Structure 1
Amino acid sequence: MSSNKSHVINLFKLHGLAVRSDGAKYLCELLDPLPKDEHDEWIEKVIDAVQKLPISSTLISKEHIHKAAQEVGTSENDDIENLLQIVDIYKVPKLMYNLERKKFVLAPTRARDLHGDASDKAALFRDRYTVVYQRTCNHDLFRQPVVGMTDDDNKKFGLTKVEFLMGSSSRLEEVVTLGLLTQLVEGQHHLEDDTGAVRLDLTNTKFHTGLFTHNCFVLVDGWYEDGLLHANAIGLPPPEAPSSTRALIGNINYFGGQGNVCAKNNPRLQQIEQENKDAMFVVLSDVWLDKIKVTEKLQTLFNGYAQFPPTAFIFCGNFVSSCHGAQQAHDLRQALGSLGTLIAGYPELMAHSRFIFVPGPNDPGPCNIYPRPTSPANITEEIKKAVPSAFFVSNPCRLLFCTQEIVIFRENIVAKMCRNCVYFPANSDDIPAHFAKTLVSQGHLAALPLHVLPVYWGLDHCLSLHPTPDVIITADKGDSFTTTHNQSIIMNPGSFAKTDFSFKVYMPATRQVEDSQIADDDT
């Protein structure tokens, strides 16, 4: 071997680490094919990667060396194919709050039952509440004041638990409570947290901006007396800057994908992201492949991008215009096969672009309980043979491009949230802004009752938006929009078939979104 174990062990000792003999031997074997004068440089990179692993001891095993070497190998690969990762939603890590360490950590990896049991349902709401509660407590308005501070300009608010309210026999003024807005009894609203539920009086309530739906978390400012919380004002929990959230979480990979560390902290990926000015994502929704006009417009689209291939085309369902039983799957299979033949006629797109398909609510497959798995293999096999770069993903799905986190959700979520509002905003012209604020404040894609938007209890964390990702694409059948909130871009491409063939184009280098359309005169 070109490098000996004692040299590796000594280099680790310089960093305060003790590597096991089998680990040092394994690293020497990895270094053996490389030029000897580069060994020390690679060992330092492995040591740096080891220090970023979630280890609880200075004793480094062979397994730690293996994980660190994989991380170094991934980060050193300049191939553009590895800059875009399609994250398996069912392998997304779960963040949990550790009371002893007072920070979010990764939950132990375990096999999760798809349907879960009663404890999983209870944990679903408890985990959502914990994320929002800890984030709110960390906000400047709710953080505990410094001892001795008397400046009135730095007034702090304390959060009162429901259990404390219910245990009080006297009137309580200026109460601020964080809880889940629910309707436990028909015609009566309640506020529920992890200690209990109290009835709400919304008679003279002032609502702040946002969509206040059943099963969303709200801050209630009011007074309590005789088992009734009288709400003077209701607002959404404050968001937390994603950079602040990541600083508190640490360098762990919470988003999913390759590697054990967060891509955000990789300066090399940041540089590639800024230098790759031509990278773009073309996003379409309601791509009805059974309509001749739609396929004609797709051909026009491919003609336009043939010389400038985007990083990826993101096609969101529904992929057929109507549901018609068993025949629907057969028709979709044929339509996808025809699309594959069309794409195969553009070798530049085939070579440099990926084609990502997100199933819609009415597409063939399992019932609409989220996260919804990919489209059945018997429907997609023909297009996959014709287009190797075609990827059929789950709904929702996650993409990681360099350091940017992208979440895609194909559901008529805006319409459902508007229908289930306790209070509909007076300024209905700016629904996208209200929607974006609600989505980010909840830190979750499904802030609705489970009978309105069903979720697999054991996989609820797959719909989490904590920390807030860079881009959230909610493909809704309503009007297209683009808005920003808490350093995140929230956009809806709208229905491609119903909006005169409009779509969105996102450019990661500049974080800009362009509204695009295929006009009739382009054909």
Structure 2
Amino acid sequence: MATARRPEKPSRVPDNPIPSSSPAFGTPVHPINPRRTAPIRAPPALKPAAKPTVLPILLPPATLRPLAFRTFTKKHNLTLTSSALGALATFIGRHCGSGWREEGLAEKVLEEVAKSWKKCSSQVIVEGDGDTLRNIVRTLEGSMSGGRIVQGSNLSRQGSFNFSLDANGHVSGPLGGARPALESQSSFGISSLDVEDNGEEEDLLTDPREWTKVIDALEQPELVYNVSQRHFDKSTSKPTLFPPPSHKTELFRQRYHIVHQRILRNETFQTPTFSATRSAVLNRTGSISTSQTNTITPIANLLGRSGSTHLLLGMLTVSPTGSLSLSDLTGAIALDLQHARPVPENGAYFAPGMIVLVDGSYEESYGDPTAGSNSTLGGTGGIGGTIGGKFIGFSVGHPPCERRSTTVGGVVDKDDKLSGPAFGWTDFLGVGSERATGARMNRIASKLLPPTTSHNVVVASDLHLDIPTTLSALRTLLRTYSPDPSDPHPTYPLAIILMGNFSSKASLAGVPGAGSIEYKEHFDALASVLSEFQQLIAHTSLVFVPGDNDAWPSAFSAGAATPLPRKPVPALFTNRIRRAVAEANREVWGAGKAKGKEGEVIWTSNPSRLSWFGVKGEMAIIRDDIAGRLHRTSIRFGKPEEDQHEEEMPDASAIPQLEESQDAMDVDLHQAPALNPPLNQELDSDTQTARALTRTLLSQSHLSPFPLSVRPLHWDYAHTLSLYPLPTALLVADTDAPAFVVKYCGCTVMNPGPIDESGGRGRREGRARWVEYDVGKGVGVVRSEE
């Protein structure tokens, strides 16, 4: 009996099925007609969740401003423009709705936008007109549902967004990788130490020398301070040895801008708030005043204010008439320092070319042509030139110094957070910024620099190779750091820095006995000495810094001051030393060299920088006779009168001082009986010179605070002499200053003095003097051995 055939039920397959080649699936032989299919009803548990709807609102930018200010400015050190704030307000109002405040939706969105901006741009100004913010918002829009950021979407919760750059440098969109592509760009504050940010690479680099880097002055990036936006920008112009004349003016303008913005962050220049604020001011008697807030007056604003007292910030200059004047960006005025006192007394140098603070009173000339300097704008003067009258100074002082932790951070508080630095995301040397790589570098440094082991940098100066006693002193130094063969765990210095002049006479300048042949023979003799200590030179780095008597600049300067920075000694004269180090590596390490651990020789510029572990530490190195130049050009102040003018002169000085007074410096003078004498004991001349030189250089934030006529500079490379931010250590090889180690404002300033302590006269031959600096502990000491 034939049974009725039931009608076939439509197959439950989705529309437009995609045939599968897997045997686990029943792939039909013939395509299924879409008209015969019916949509599949998913089980209740598999139903897609209904997407919550958000009712858009109109959110005014002024209403969002307080929350955006707390997120971008207070937390991430970013500044929002009006266009960016308007764009974010529109986006949050559209996608977060009325719950932007009560449910905290807007705060999470702003947090992600701030993180993404830091990864995509090195600018601290968040602009809404460019493509960067537009792409960030577009990516965030696809990751939001119901006003919230969905977990597991295109947004990475740990690293925020991942973006790539196109050929024009614009953000092109998110990537699927877990690491941002921008981390390879040095302009974003990421370390450029040729290592990857992963644990495997860190385990392979176990030698601290692999984390050190010598930065040549000609390779140091140039940053220009942006006054309007108050941050540093990378220079867009390529430096050259023949720049236009406008770069000469910009050289001094940048120095003034850096000092000025540094002063305005000092607590003594902060405007008092409703809460009780203290402004510490040191007067001549040493007491502290807590009721004064200092204000800097532009020189142009002195017009019409005769008889009033002001605090000026400007550069000391010598006018065409020969009188001393003070100039800033608004004008210049003649100075009368007949009764002025330096702050502190005998604690610093004041010379033309330095930016100083002057506290005093203004006296207008009222058309008297004999008063003041030669005013080009008449008796009352005018903006842009030398104004009439004169400024009678009561006290003159250097701008207060700023610690490195205040500038770039690096200090961790009790909550394991960095204290708010001024420029934490700025990469000043091309080795990374503190906020980008500081935590990682501190972790690696704490592992590779244990406190129980010394990791020293040895510095010797004035290595006159044409004097036989100098080579004997060098043997003494190298013998001191050569390990005992019986020692199972020998320690070697991280680097040995040998500084010029490498000739006591100007080489290649026509001086008898100082030609090119003799100059090369001197370095060949140095190579012979180094070959005697193969174990040492195969485990350390030799760094050579030239002086004014070295080739090639000495060929036309005859030993005079050559323009800074200057290039290294040419390889034509130093090939024998390179071969000596290469031979020592072959003898010690054999055919299978341990990568990164063998010895190396580096010929660098003057000045240069030595950094270790990225932003962990930095040493500025310069070979120059700064103390002698200061003695020749500094201002001589008159002695104070005991009985006269005591009532006329004010008791307190408006020049602010630091927490470290002159007597609080940590001084280590070679063979000094009392490193820190009592307050009632007068300091010796060597201690005063060391302290004054240290305070002058660090307060000026520059290695050459002189006019170009006194110390010539290459205009486009003058930024390499800047000491802002303050380095961890400063090495000043100065023949005219005593050998010393001074720690001031967290910076260790060292001067090794000549390596040959006998002075080349044959007495005490072989006695050497140098400076030893421990990079792990930040402590330096002057050593002397025989």
State TM-score, norm by structure 2: 0.57
Maintained 8 Å contact 2:191/2:431: no
SS in 1 for 2:308: strand
Kindly indicate whether residue 313 of structure 2 is the aligned counterpart of residue 138 of structure 1: no
How far is the alpha carbon of 1:262 from its aligned partner? 6.5
How far is the alpha carbon of 1:300 from its aligned partner? 2.7
Structure 2 residue aligned with 1:267:
442
Structure 2 residue aligned with 1:296:
472
Structure 2 residue aligned with 1:439:
697
Q: C-alpha separation between the residues in 2 aligned to 1:379 and 1:443?
A: 35
SS in 1 for 2:742: strand
Distance 1:502 1:15, change over 3 A: closer
How far is the alpha carbon of 1:297 from its aligned partner? 2.5
Q: C-alpha separation between the residues in 2 aligned to 1:346 and 1:323?
A: 29
How far is the alpha carbon of 1:97 from its aligned partner? 2.5
SS in 2 for 1:212: coil
- When structure 1 is superposed on structure 2, of 424-433 and 286-295 the one drifting more is 424-433
Maintained 8 Å contact 2:162/2:175: no
User: Deviations 1:215-274 (Å, cap 9, x if unpaired)?
Assistant: 101100001121211101111101112101111111332123478976654322441464
User: Deviations 1:93-140 (Å, cap 9, x if unpaired)?
Assistant: 2333233432x3232354111232211100000000000011111111
The correspondence for 1:190, drawn from 325, 328, 352, is 325
Structure 2 residue aligned with 1:169:
304
How do 1:233-312 residues align onto structure 2 when only pairs under 5 Å count?
233-246=395-408, 247-257=421-431, 264-265=438-439, 266-272=441-447, 274-275=449-450, 277-307=453-483, 308-312=491-495
Maintained 8 Å contact 2:162/2:181: no
Q: C-alpha separation between the residues in 1 aligned to 2:446 and 2:464?
A: 38
Q: C-alpha separation between the residues in 1 aligned to 2:627 and 2:469?
A: 27
How far is the alpha carbon of 1:189 from its aligned partner? 0.7
SS in 1 for 2:498: strand
Distance 1:20 1:199, change over 3 A: closer
Structure 1 residue aligned with 2:729:
471
How far is the alpha carbon of 1:340 from its aligned partner? 1.9
Q: C-alpha separation between the residues in 1 aligned to 2:740 and 2:638?
A: 18
Structure 1 residue aligned with 2:739:
480
Q: C-alpha separation between the residues in 2 aligned to 1:273 and 1:409?
A: 28
Maintained 8 Å contact 2:463/2:503: yes
**1:92 corresponds to which letter in structure 2?**
Q
Kindly indicate whether residue 358 of structure 2 is the aligned counterpart of residue 220 of structure 1: yes
Structure 2 residue aligned with 1:86:
214
The correspondence for 1:337, drawn from 524, 529, 553, is 524
SS in 2 for 1:377: coil
Q: C-alpha separation between the residues in 2 aligned to 1:123 and 1:143?
A: 28
Maintained 8 Å contact 2:495/2:543: yes
Distance 1:273 1:417, change over 3 A: farther
How far is the alpha carbon of 1:146 from its aligned partner? 2.1
Structure 2 residue aligned with 1:396:
607
SS in 1 for 2:267: coil
Maintained 8 Å contact 1:413/1:476: yes
**1:180 corresponds to which letter in structure 2?**
M
The correspondence for 2:197, drawn from 72, 77, 80, is 72
How far is the alpha carbon of 1:509 from its aligned partner? 1.7
Maintained 8 Å contact 2:527/2:580: yes
Of Structure 1 and Structure 2, the greater strand share is in 1
**2:636 corresponds to which letter in structure 1?**
Y
- When structure 1 is superposed on structure 2, of 297-306 and 141-150 the one drifting more is 141-150
Structure 2 residue aligned with 1:204:
339
Maintained 8 Å contact 1:286/1:318: yes
How far is the alpha carbon of 1:53 from its aligned partner? 7.5
Maintained 8 Å contact 1:280/1:505: yes
Q: C-alpha separation between the residues in 2 aligned to 1:26 and 1:67?
A: 22
Q: C-alpha separation between the residues in 2 aligned to 1:54 and 1:458?
A: 20
How far is the alpha carbon of 1:303 from its aligned partner? 2.3
Distance 1:320 1:14, change over 3 A: closer
The correspondence for 2:539, drawn from 333, 352, 355, is 352
- When structure 1 is superposed on structure 2, of 414-423 and 272-281 the one drifting more is 272-281
SS in 2 for 1:252: coil
SS in 2 for 1:394: coil
SS in 1 for 2:156: helix
Q: C-alpha separation between the residues in 2 aligned to 1:172 and 1:273?
A: 62
**1:162 corresponds to which letter in structure 2?**
I
Greater RCO between the two (CA within 8 Å, min separation 6)? Answer: 1
- How many residues align? The count is 487
- When structure 1 is superposed on structure 2, of 283-292 and 138-147 the one drifting more is 138-147
How far is the alpha carbon of 1:83 from its aligned partner? 1.6
Q: C-alpha separation between the residues in 2 aligned to 1:218 and 1:329?
A: 44
Q: C-alpha separation between the residues in 1 aligned to 2:708 and 2:577?
A: 35
How far is the alpha carbon of 1:26 from its aligned partner? 8.6
Structure 1 residue aligned with 2:753:
494
User: Deviations 1:174-215 (Å, cap 9, x if unpaired)?
Assistant: 200100011123431110111111111111111113100111
How do 1:8-27 residues align onto structure 2 when only pairs under 5 Å count?
10=154, 12=156, 15-20=159-164
Maintained 8 Å contact 2:546/2:605: yes
Kindly indicate whether residue 624 of structure 2 is the aligned counterpart of residue 406 of structure 1: no
Q: C-alpha separation between the residues in 2 aligned to 1:386 and 1:65?
A: 36
Q: C-alpha separation between the residues in 1 aligned to 2:568 and 2:153?
A: 46
**2:423 corresponds to which letter in structure 1?**
I
User: Deviations 1:327-360 (Å, cap 9, x if unpaired)?
Assistant: 4332232221222233233232122111111101
How far is the alpha carbon of 1:17 from its aligned partner? 1.3
Structure 1 residue aligned with 2:589:
none
Kindly indicate whether residue 479 of structure 2 is the aligned counterpart of residue 317 of structure 1: no
Q: C-alpha separation between the residues in 2 aligned to 1:150 and 1:343?
A: 60
Q: C-alpha separation between the residues in 1 aligned to 2:477 and 2:212?
A: 22
Q: C-alpha separation between the residues in 1 aligned to 2:573 and 2:165?
A: 51
Q: C-alpha separation between the residues in 2 aligned to 1:91 and 1:208?
A: 37
Distance 1:221 1:289, change over 3 A: same
Structure 1 residue aligned with 2:677:
none
How do 1:22-41 residues align onto structure 2 when only pairs under 5 Å count?
none
Q: C-alpha separation between the residues in 2 aligned to 1:85 and 1:317?
A: 20
Maintained 8 Å contact 1:67/1:260: no
Larger radius of gyration: 2
The correspondence for 1:371, drawn from 532, 557, 565, is 565
Q: C-alpha separation between the residues in 1 aligned to 2:728 and 2:448?
A: 13
Of Structure 1 and Structure 2, the greater helix share is in 1
Distance 1:141 1:416, change over 3 A: same
Gaps of 5+ in 2: 1-142, 144-150, 167-171, 280-289, 365-388, 409-420, 484-490, 583-599, 640-682, 759-766
The correspondence for 2:229, drawn from 82, 87, 101, is 101
State TM-score, norm by structure 1: 0.84
Maintained 8 Å contact 1:273/1:509: no
How far is the alpha carbon of 1:27 from its aligned partner? 7.8
Distance 1:109 1:27, change over 3 A: farther
Distance 1:311 1:14, change over 3 A: closer
Maintained 8 Å contact 2:299/2:333: yes
Q: C-alpha separation between the residues in 2 aligned to 1:485 and 1:297?
A: 30
Maintained 8 Å contact 1:254/1:262: no
Maintained 8 Å contact 2:190/2:432: no
